[in-house]
């Protein structure tokens, strides 16, 4: 992201005669978080920005001018995308499509090509590249640890073609076999459950409180209220208790991939 925001924050901190630690204490944050923001490596949450405004006496400047960039993502997802790249743990729930960071190129292209209004081939290419760039977070040998809870319908909804689906499901199995990603399937037999109302991403970090992101049709919301994040974590944990164990989930993924291959 542009460092104008971080530079301005640093100027205001120095003008107030505060060290990074003093500002962190006043804003109820960590010193490393302040350092990351000032260096342009991190964007604060809206709540963090509000606390910085209060600590520095800058009105609502920091909270009303949170930076974005020109990445090919929906505006409502931008803050969540930046946090996704910094998380030490990510837990996903999906009821319609495979989560973005777990998608293959062919699957991502098929999903993005189904957009309305339709996008040009060039725009679709740009969107696919951005989505694959997001997935590179999984190339880090240490973090994040990823758990993905998938409604069984995600496996059986043919996106693109049977070949695309077979490749995608095998990719999920491969990720799980590497050990840092866990895939669990919520079977049809469970019936109704609360999570099915929305896509959900939970994120934890080394030096800041956890956040949650929910998304529906053309809308998304980043939640940083501790009470709301805790509530969503509880809903996720409850759903996970009804999901298939890892081994059974991978067996189902392999069998479903094989079924798609038989459609050729």
What are 11-43's pLDDT values in tens digits? 899 999 999 999 999 999 888 888 888 887 677
Q: For the chain, first and last CA: distance in Å?
A: 44
* pTM for this predicted structure: 0.73
**pLDDT beyond 70 at 212:** yes
Q: What is the dihedral of CA 141, 215, 257, 115, to 10 degrees?
A: -110
Six-digit token string for 60: 């609502």
Per-residue model confidence (pLDDT) at position 103: 92
The answer to whether 160 touches 109, Cβ cutoff 8 Å, is yes
Query: What mean pLDDT is reported for the chain?
Result: 87
Backbone angles phi, psi at 222, to 5 degrees: -95, 125
Q: Give the model confidence (pLDDT) of 85-109 as tens digits.
A: 889 999 999 999 999 899 999 999 9
132 versus 238: the higher-pLDDT residue is 238
Per-residue model confidence (pLDDT) at position 79: 75
Strand order of the sheet with strand 219-223?
181-186, 145-151, 89-94, 199-204, 211-216, 219-223
Per-residue model confidence (pLDDT) at position 71: 41
In the chain, DSSP assigns E strands to 89-94, 145-151, 181-186, 199-204, 211-216, 219-223
Q: List, as one string, the DSSP characters of 29-80.
A: --HHHHHHHHTTS----HHHHHHHHHHHT-TTHHHH-------SS-GGGHHH
CA 81 vs CA 15, 132, 254: distances in Å: 32, 12, 30
Which of 97-101, 191-195, 206-210, 235-239 ranks highest by mean pLDDT?
235-239
Per-residue model confidence (pLDDT) at position 75: 58
**pLDDT beyond 50 at 82:** yes
CB neighbour list of residue 9: distance below 8 Å, 6 or more residues apart = 34, 37, 38, 52, 62
Q: Round to whole Å and give the CA distance between 255 and 157.
A: 15
Per-residue model confidence (pLDDT) at position 73: 44
Per-residue model confidence (pLDDT) at position 4: 76
**pLDDT beyond 80 at 72:** no
Q: Give the model confidence (pLDDT) of 155-185 as tens digits.
A: 999 999 999 999 999 999 999 998 889 999 9
Q: Round to whole Å and give the CA distance between 136 and 168.
A: 16
């Amino acid at each position: 992201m542009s460092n104008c925001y971080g530079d301005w924050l640093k100027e205001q901190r120095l003008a107030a005669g505060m060290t990074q630690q003093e500002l962190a204490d006043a804003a109820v944050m960590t010193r490393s978080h302040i350092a990351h923001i000032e260096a342009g490596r991190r964007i604060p949450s809206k709540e963090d920005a509000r606390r910085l405004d209060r600590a520095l006496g800058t009105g609502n400047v920091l909270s009303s001018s949170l930076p974005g960039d020109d990445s090919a993502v929906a505006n409502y997802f931008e803050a969540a995308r930046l946090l996704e790249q910094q998380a030490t743990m990510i837990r996903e729930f999906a009821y319609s499509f495979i989560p973005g960071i777990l998608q293959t190129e062919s699957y991502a292209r098929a999903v993005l090509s189904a957009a309305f209004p339709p996008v040009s081939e060039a725009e679709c290419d740009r969107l696919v590249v951005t989505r694959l760039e997001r997935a590179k977070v999984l190339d880090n040998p240490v973090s994040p640890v990823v758990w993905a809870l998938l409604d069984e319908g995600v496996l059986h909804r043919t996106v693109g073609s049977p070949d695309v689906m077979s490749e995608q499901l095998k990719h999920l199995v491969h990720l799980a076999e590497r050990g840092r990603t866990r895939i669990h399937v919520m079977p049809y037999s469970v019936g109704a459950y609360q999570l099915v109302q929305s896509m959900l991403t939970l994120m934890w970090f080394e030096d800041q409180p956890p956040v949650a992101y929910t998304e529906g049709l053309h809308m998304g919301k980043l939640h940083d209220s501790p009470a709301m994040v805790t509530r969503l974590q509880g809903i996720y944990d409850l759903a996970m208790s009804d999901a298939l164990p890892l081994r059974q989930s991978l067996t189902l993924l392999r069998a479903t991939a094989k079924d798609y291959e038989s459609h050729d």
